[in-house]
Amino acid sequence: MRCDFDGRQIGGFAHDEDPRIKGRAHVGSAWFAPLIPGGTLVPVRIAFASPSVGQATIYVRAGE
């Protein structure tokens, strides 16, 4: 399952950061899957645009 979202940073800004960038919406997507067969859906991949690093992707996997 995939969920698309808009995210906004609400704090933690650098003092010299451009005020037009502060609070701007950034789009992303989260993919959900069970980590074990029949388990609860959890986010396993999150991809989003970041003004400081560009496109970022986070992967989550089950512990070993």
Residues 6+ apart with CB under 8 A from 34: 40, 41, 42
pLDDT of residue 11: 72
Residue 22 carries which DSSP code? T
pLDDT of residue 41: 94
* Tens digits of residue pLDDT in 14-64: 777 776 676 778 889 999 998 889 999 999 999 998 777 789 999 987 666
pLDDT of residue 64: 62
Band of pLDDT at residue 4, cut at 50, 70 and 90:
very high
User: Closest Cα partner for 58 from 26, 35, 31?
Assistant: 31
Sign of CA dihedral 46, 58, 10, 24: negative
Q: Where are the domains of the chain?
A: 2-13+20-59
Please indicate, yes or no, whether the overall pTM of this predicted structure exceeds 0.85. no
